[in-house]
């Protein structure tokens, strides 16, 4: 039995005229790192909310089908219980600051206080999480005094520190600098290697290709494609449907037409591109 099991999920927001997710079927194994791609409005965020339990619990609306994580159906569980296993961080970092805390260190403690972690353990968990995401030196700063990218790291750390079984991330690096983004992807990859399941909505194809196990392409609320990054991200279907792809893939496709790319499959990562373009 898969760790995440979504069956026939269709969902419509209360004030919407049409469903934003339609008949989604998806199985994800424990420890998998799955990236969700798609245009804005394709349903990425809603899928994240559905996994995190906020659809339907928080948003209400018309929900049908099954979202099951670790053997429990979201519709059967209380949201307060659900979030103990499923962590969510989303794009706008400013709105994720609790507003009740004075320093970054205390901000990150917010969730641990809520689940009753003892003080000494709390401190060591926060320190470890901050070290992981590279924000140890921000500990005593006010969360409001940080730049957008730094706030995003704080938002991510605030969820990581709670050690969820499933980590749901909706464009968590959008405001981070390029190398910072790569570092965060690497951290998430490590977490997934150590058993945490990760579902991440993202646009940054190069890092998805490098770090994710699987890619799900959404279009108009439906799954258009799913599979390994090098299958999905090189598919003609993706290009035809207006998805952005990495320069490695798009340039190799051009090169293929001019007979400058000789391999059958297109590259998605730097390494694959180097492999194919290197002079033999």
Partner 1 sequence: MNITISDLHFSYAPNVKALNGISLTINAGEQVAIIGQNGAGKTTLVRHLNGLLKPTSGSVSIGDWDTTKHSVAKLASKVGYVFQNPDEQLFSKDVLTEVEFGPKNLGYKKNKIDQLVKRALELTELTGKQETNPYDLSPTWRKMVALASILAMDTPIVIFDEPTTGQDFTNITRIANVIAELKKTGKTVITITHDIDFCAENFERVIALSKGQVLLDGSPREILGQEEILAQTYVDPPQLTRLGKKIGLQETVITPQEFLKALAQRAG
Partner 2 sequence: MYIARASGLHQLHPLTKVLLTFCLLIAGLALPGNWTSYLIILLVIFPLSVWGKVFPNLLRITWLVSLPFAISVILIQSLFWGTGTPLFEFWIFAPKLEGARYAVISLGKIILVMSDFLLFSLTTRPDALMIALKQAGMPSSIAYIIVTTLQIVPSFQRKGATILDAQRSRGLETEGNLFVRAKALVPIVLPLVLGSLMEVEERAIAIEARAFNSRQTETSLIEIPDTQLQKNFRTVILIVMFLLIIFGILWRL
Note the residues at the interface with partner 2 (CB under 8 A).
49, 52, 54, 58, 79-81, 83-84, 87-90, 92, 94-102, 105-106, 109-119, 122-123, 126, 144, 155, 158-159, 162
Residue 174 interacts, among partner 2, partner 1, none and using kind-specific CB cut-offs from 5 to 8 Å, with: partner 1
Distances (CA, A) of 52 to 85, 176, 264: 9, 23, 39
In the complex with partner 2, the residue whose CB is nearer, 144 or 178, is 144
Token digits for 226? 């799913």
Token digits for 101? 């805390």
With tokens 């099954």, the residue in question is 66
Residue 202 interacts, among partner 2, partner 1, none and using kind-specific CB cut-offs from 5 to 8 Å, with: none
CA 67 to chain CA centroid, nearest Å: 17
Residue 179 interacts, among partner 2, partner 1, none and using kind-specific CB cut-offs from 5 to 8 Å, with: partner 1
In the complex with partner 2, the residue whose CB is nearer, 167 or 225, is 167
Within the chain, residue ranges assigned H as helices are 44-52, 54-57, 79-82, 104-114, 119-132, 148-160, 178-193, 205-211, 229-232, 236-240, 247-257, 270-277
Identify whether 56 is preceded by a cis peptide bond (ω within 30 of 0): yes
- Least separation in angstroms between residue 146's CB and partner 1 is 8
- Least separation in angstroms between residue 211's CB and partner 1 is 15
In the complex with partner 2, the residue whose CB is nearer, 80 or 186, is 80
Residue 1 interacts, among partner 1, partner 2, none and using kind-specific CB cut-offs from 5 to 8 Å, with: none
């Amino acid at each position: 039995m898969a760790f995440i099991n979504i069956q026939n999920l269709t969902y419509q927001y209360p004030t919407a005229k049409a469903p934003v997710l339609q008949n989604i079927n998806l199985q994800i194994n424990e420890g998998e790192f799955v990236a969700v791609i798609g245009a804005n409005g394709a349903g990425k965020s809603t899928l994240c909310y559905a996994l995190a339990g906020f659809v339907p619990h928080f948003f209400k609306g018309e929900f049908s089908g099954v979202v099951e994580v670790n053997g429990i159906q979201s519709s059967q569980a209380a949201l307060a219980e659900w979030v103990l296993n499923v962590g969510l961080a989303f794009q706008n970092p400013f709105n994720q600051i609790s507003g009740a805390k004075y320093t970054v260190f205390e901000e990150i403690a917010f969730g641990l206080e809520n689940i009753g972690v003892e003080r000494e353990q709390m401190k060591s968990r926060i320190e470890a999480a901050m070290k992981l995401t590279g924000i140890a030196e921000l500990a005593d700063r006010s969360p409001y005094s940080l730049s957008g990218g730094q706030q995003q790291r704080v938002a991510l750390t605030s969820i990581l520190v709670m050690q969820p079984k499933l980590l749901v991330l909706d464009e968590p690096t959008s405001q981070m600098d390029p190398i910072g983004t790569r570092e965060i992807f690497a951290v998430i990859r490590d977490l997934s290697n150590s058993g945490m399941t990760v579902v991440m909505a993202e646009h940054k194809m190069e890092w998805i290709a490098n770090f994710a196990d699987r890619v799900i392409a959404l279009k108009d609320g439906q799954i258009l494609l799913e599979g390994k990054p090098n299958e999905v991200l090189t598919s003609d279907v993706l290009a035809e449907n207006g998805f952005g792809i990495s320069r490695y893939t798009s340039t190799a496709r051009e090169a293929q037409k001019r007979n400058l790319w000789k391999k059958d499959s297109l590259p998605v990562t730097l390494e694959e591109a180097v492999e194919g373009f290197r002079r033999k």
